[in-house]
Chains A and B, each alone.
Chain A
Amino acid sequence: MATAEVLAPLDPPTPEPSLRRRGGVPPLARYLLVRLALLIPMMWVLVTMVFVLMRVIGDPIQAALGGRLTAAQIAERKADAGLDRPILTQYWEYISGLFRGDFGTTLTDNRKVSDILVVNGAATLELALWSLIVAFAVGIPLGRLAARYRDRLPDILLRLFSILVYAAPVFFVGLLLKLAFTPFGWPSSGRASISNELILQDVRPRTNIMIVDAFLWGDPAIIGDVLKHAMLPAIALGLLTGGVFLRLVRVNLLQTLRMDYVTAARARGISERRVMNKHAFRNALVPVVTVMGMQVALLLGGAILTETTFEWKGLGYQLSEYLIKRDFLAVQGIVTLIALIVGAMSFLIDVIIAFVDPRVRF
């Protein structure tokens, strides 16, 4: 083993100094700058699409208040909201508002969208994090297991499982989990018991991330209660991504195990366990990181259904509420933020990949 480590530098070769710079800019910095430069038009396209779509589907004032006000009152409201002005003027105000962190005010309950984003966004963030933990906990070890037992019974069962959890609608999985666990006293909805939610309202500073607030309060019973409430929604949403991770890890691990450097490692007598752990598995995780960015979008989409199913009052729940009320100004704000989060996550993943996999820098 010691011989092998001396003889074979199995990690990808270090680039030649001549490749490190083009025009004096280090490759990593250049890569990040290019990604950042691409992020700006991507964000612009996203927010513009949201703006245009919200107007294509109809007049937001009429949609929210139609039937409750006369035509004259509707016209007055439109003027108040600036919707009677030229579309380009509205667009400019929308974009400049975004730069100021002003996402507008909801039509139906006069709330600042930015306040909704802070309060409900924290809940969604918490759910997304719990779901990612479940996705990693399920997808990575099981993917590895499936690769190890390729084409044997465990592999076949795990592949079936991954298809099932990926294909099953998240609200359906949620419903099944509720039906299965509620009879045993497991909480079916909410982020904590009602009494504990009331207690956590007194936490200062309040983060709106329930588990953080519970830790700040410091009562183990409340921490347990919060975790208990997070379990079913996290599993419902996490399995969706976990199924994707499982297949990715399996496929990538199988591909990696066929690479020349793995064959070389085996030829040098390195144990199969070490080949798997040190050389193959780590590299097989790189594509998982790549896909993680896309999974964030999937998680946020899934959160709409999961949050409603489990009374998890996050952005997804709030988005569905405002959609029902036809409050398209609120919808516009929330969708814009989600689009920005997805864009930012995409950039973040690019950065992580640049560090994990040096090849992408060149």
Chain B
Amino acid sequence: MRIFRRSTALIAVSALAGVALAACGAGNNSSDDAGSGSGIIVGTTDKVVSIDPAGSYDNGSLNVQTQVYQYLLNFPAGSTEPTPDAASACDFATPTTYVCTIKPGLKFANGNDLTASDVAFSFKRVVAINDPSGPASLLGAMESVEATDDTTVTFTLSAANDQTFPQILVTSAGPIVDEETYPADAVMDDDAAVKANGFSGPYTIAKYDKNQLAEFKANPDYDGTYGPAATKTVTMKYYAKAENLKLDIKNKDIDVAFRSLTPTDIADLEKTDGLKVNTGAGGELRYITFNLTTMPGDSKEQKLAIRKAMASSVDRADLATQVYKDTFTPAYSMVPDGQAGATEAFKDAYGEAPDADAAKKFLDDAGVKTPVNVKLQYNPDHYGSSSDQEYNAVKRQLEATGLFTIDLQSTEWVTYSEEYNADAYPVFQLGWFPDFPDADNYLSPFLSPYDKEKSGNFTNSHYNDLDTEFADPEMTKLLDSERTDGDQASREATLKQIQDRIADQVPYLPLLTGSQVAVGVDGIKGLDKTLDASFKFRFTSLSK
């Protein structure tokens, strides 16, 4: 009993002491974060899969890699033109060899020299490790890479004059790692990567708790595209829930909230005093995919008419405003507005607003009986929580024409990803976030000749499937042309032809493209500079 009493007393005293201490701290701002003055705190709901470039290919990891690694080429603020970073120059030596010269005297933060050998090692290990979460697939165009001498790296490419290759050097496949500290055949875990300090980017990582907190310190030896960091210390706070991110930026406990606030949260924060919502070019694309082999229609012509009728019936502006509170904008091409060579092919072909008469004419001309029954599938857990509202709105819009009866169904991603690849869905939702800011990245993955083994056309639409009536050699020719055309004007002309052809064939129906949104407290500068079409969030641009 005495022991019990003593324990109870101990618990009570501890609890009271705790409450007292907590109460003492309640009004004490000495440990408050955003107000500490020296650094900037950025909040995000993105997660880091791996700091090691060989083991990650996602936004959260890329965000860290952007700050701590150097690339051969990189995008300066406001540009999508690859510019020398660790390289002093890169160019095609022959149609299939791309040669980069490394700047002399570069070093990693751990003191090791950064040489051509490190560069070749970095690319080789991405391919060798071929991690399922890694970016090896981005290097499909690279046949080999060698360090010719201490300052020269030579890439051998599988296709001549591949104009997308310089862009690939800036993607998740491009960070340069320290050959002396990174294993050649395995992904390095994050704690080991931080300890190894094999970073040569504008920042190094001073403290790191995976997906909880990371503290970045400016690297005084950085010599690259981004220039010197405007802020010496940036802390990244990782949130589990967007509502907590919103609450903390609203209370100004953090300085910046970047990815991913809901449209409703953003609308609310816009009205909050002391905060500024910054928007920039977005690359995300939301679209409907037609499985050309299983979609409704008795013939190729009828199927095309149904696709065209749907293209004439959707109201993108309504979806953008009603569902996404204008954080998304209408997409009138598979290449979003803002990318070099983007057109508005669908607007030109089907108009800006829905046109039920035009839709009816397409169907009547092809002899399609109305209403057309369409089984429309969407996914509620992979493309954001608003997919449900978005596809219910699409259903309403299509049915409002009186030409369609929509059987709307949703499936969880695990099953969804299996079933759309097994031709189970005739018409279905997909989304796309680009690997690099080039029009080709919005075209080739969707339109290349169908190849299940190489995942050339990953959507399983059967468009350009060589074994079917939907093969499109003309499209293949156009894609090959734009990829290898070094002349910007003629390349853009080819890109226009491709986009017009998509609008004419409608294997996909682009709906919306997303803007990048970052909310900053008053006094934070540079957010507008980093929210550009390169999709790289640069801490170097931020200051307060």
- Contact in complex: A198, B215 (CB < 8 Å): yes
Do B28 and A221 touch across chains, with their CB atoms under 8 A apart?
yes
Q: Are A182 and B25 in contact (CB under 8 A)?
A: no
Name which of A159-167, A189-197, A254-262 contacts chain B: A189-197
Q: Is the CB of B209 closer than 8 A to any CB of chain A?
A: yes
Is B241 an interface residue when CB atoms closer than 8 A count as contact?
yes
Q: Is A25 interfacial (CB-CB < 8 Å)?
A: no
Q: Please give the distance in Å from B317's CB to the nearest CB on chain A.
A: 30
Q: In the complex, which residues 1-37 of chain B have their Cβ closer than 8 Å to any Cβ of chain A? A: 1, 4, 11-12, 14-15, 18-19, 21-28, 30-33, 36
Closest chain B CB from A55 CB (angstroms)? 14
Given contacts A72-B453, A197-B213, A228-B26, contact A282 B4 (CB under 8 A): yes
> How near does chain A come to B11, taking the closest CB pair, in angstroms?
6
Report whether A66 and B131 are in contact in the complex, using a CB–CB cutoff of 8 Å: no
Q: Say yes or no: B27 contacts A185, CB within 8 Å.
A: yes
Quick check: A110 and B189 within 8 Å, CB to CB?
yes
Q: Is the CB of B22 within 8 A of A195?
A: no
Are A182 and B247 in contact, with the CB atoms below 8 A?
yes
For chain B, residues 73 to 103, give those with C-beta under 8 angstroms from any C-beta of chain A: none
Is B417 on the interface with A (CB-CB < 8 A)?
A: yes
A77 to B239 CA separation, bound complex (whole angstroms): 30
B241–A309 CB distance below 8 A: yes
Interface size grouping (class) on chain A: 35 or more
A300 at the interface (CB under 8 A from B): no
By a CB distance below 8 angstroms, the chain A residues around B23 are 224
Given the complex, which residues of A lie within 8 Å of B244, measured CB to CB?
188-189, 310-311
A319 to chain B, nearest CB (A): 12
A177 contact set on B, CB distance < 8 A: none
CB pair A133–B189 under 8 Å, yes or no, is no
Chain A contacts of B21 at CB under 8 A? 220, 223-224, 227
How far apart are the CA atoms of A66 and B416 in the complex, in Å?
A: 9
Chain B, residue nearest A222 (CB): B31
Q: Does A107 contact B (CB under 8 A)?
A: yes
How far apart sit A137 and B212, CA to CA, in the bound complex (Å)?
31
With both beta carbons as reference points, the residue of chain A lying nearest to B17 in the complex is identified as A227
Q: Which of these, B25, B132, B209, contacts A77 with CB under 8 Å?
A: B132
B403 to chain A, nearest CB (A): 31
CB of B211 within 8 A of CB of A194, answer no
At the interface, yes or no: B413 with Cβ under 8 Å from chain A?
yes
Closest beta carbon of chain B to A78's beta carbon, Å: 11
Q: A347 within 8 Å of B by Cβ?
A: no
Chain A 93-114 interface mask (CB, 8 Å, partner B; 1/0): 0000000000000011111000
Residues in A with CB closer than 8 Å to B421 are 66-67, 71
Q: Given A63-B414, A69-B132, A221–B47 Cβ distance below 8 Å? A: no
A136 to B11, CA, bound (A): 10
Bitwise, A297-312 to B at CB < 8 A (1) or not (0) is 0000000000111110
The one of A66, A195, A308 in contact with B418, judged by C-beta atoms closer than 8 angstroms, is A66
Residues on B with beta carbons closer than 8 Å to the beta carbon of A324: 381
Q: Which of A190-231 contact B (CB under 8 A)?
A: 190, 192-198, 201-202, 220-225, 227-228, 231
Residue of A nearest to B60 (CB): A109
Nearest B residue to A112, CB-CB = B189
Taking CB atoms and an 8 Å cut-off, the chain B residues in 190-223 that contact chain A are 207, 209-213, 215
- Does chain A have a CB within 8 A of B55? yes
By a CB distance below 8 angstroms, the chain B residues around A51 are: none
Q: In the assembled complex, which residues on chain B have CB atoms less than 8 Å from the CB atom of A194? A: 33, 41, 213, 235, 237, 253-254
B22 in contact with A62 (CB, 8 Å): no
Which of A73, A110, A195, A320 is close to B31, meaning CB atoms less than 8 Å apart? Answer: A195
CA distance A317 to B48 in the complex (A): 15
Select which of A108, A227, A308 is within 8 A of B240 by beta carbon.
Answer: A308
Does B11 contact A133, Cβ atoms closer than 8 Å?
Answer: yes
- Does A68 belong to the interface (CB within 8 Å)? yes
CB neighbours (8 Å) of A63 from chain B are 414
**Which of A73, A109, A178, A193 touches B33 (beta carbons < 8 Å)?**
A193
Give the residue among A72, A189, A309, A326 with the most B Cβ atoms within 10 A: A189
Q: Mark B429-470, 1 if CB is under 8 A from A, else 0.
A: 000000000000000000000001111000000000000000
User: How long is the Cα–Cα vector from A185 to B455 in the complex, in angstroms?
Assistant: 52
Minimum CB–CB distance from A191 to chain B (whole Å) comes to: 9
Contact B31 A221 (CB under 8 A): yes
Partner of B235, one of A109, A198, A224: A198
User: Do the beta carbons of B209 and A111 come within 8 Å of each other?
Assistant: no
Instruction: Say whether A31 faces chain B, with CB atoms less than 8 Å apart.
Output: no
Q: Which of B28, B47, B254 contacts A321 (CB 8 A)?
A: B47
Within the assembled complex, what's the spacing in Å between the Cα atoms of A184 and B454?
Answer: 57
Is residue B427 contacting chain A, with contact meaning CB distance below 8 A?
no
Q: Is A65 an interface residue (CB 8 A)?
A: yes
Asked if A30 lies at the interface with its beta carbon under 8 angstroms from chain B, I say: no
Q: Does residue A313 face the partner (Cβ distance < 8 Å to B)? A: yes
Q: Mark B36-57, 1 if CB is under 8 A from A, else 0.
A: 1000010000011110000110
Shortest CB-to-CB span from A330 to chain B, Å, is 12
Task: List residues 253-278 of chain A with CB under 8 A from any CB of chain B.
Answer: 278
Report B-chain residues with C-beta under 8 Å of the C-beta of A12.
none
Q: Considering only CB atoms, which chain A residue lies closest to B133 in the complex?
A: A108
Chain B residues near A282 (CB-CB < 8 A): 1, 4
Is the Cβ of B31 less than 8 Å from the Cβ of A225?
Answer: yes
Measured CB to CB, the closest approach of chain A to B525, in angstroms, equals 21
Chain B residues with Cβ below 8 Å from A198 are 207, 213, 215, 235
Residues of B within 8 A of A (CB): 1, 4, 11-12, 14-15, 18-19, 21-28, 30-33, 36, 41, 47-50, 55-56, 131-133, 187, 189, 207, 209-213, 215, 235, 237, 239-241, 244, 247-248, 251, 253-254, 381, 413-414, 416-418, 420-421, 452-455
* 10 interchain pairs, CB-CB under 8 A: A62-B414, A71-B452, A77-B132, A133-B11, A133-B15, A184-B26, A194-B235, A195-B33, A282-B1, A321-B47
Q: Which residues of A come within 8 Å of B, CB atoms?
A: 58, 62-63, 65-73, 77, 107-111, 133, 136-137, 178, 182, 184-190, 192-198, 201-202, 220-225, 227-228, 231, 278, 282, 307-311, 313, 317, 320-321, 324, 326
Which 6 pairs across A and B sit closest by C-beta, in order of nearness? A224-B25, A67-B417, A66-B417, A224-B21, A194-B33, A228-B22
- Known contacts A188-B244, A227-B18, A228-B25; can you find 14 more A-B pairs with CB under 8 A? A67-B416, A67-B417, A67-B420, A71-B421, A77-B132, A108-B133, A109-B50, A110-B55, A198-B207, A221-B28, A227-B22, A307-B240, A308-B240, A313-B240
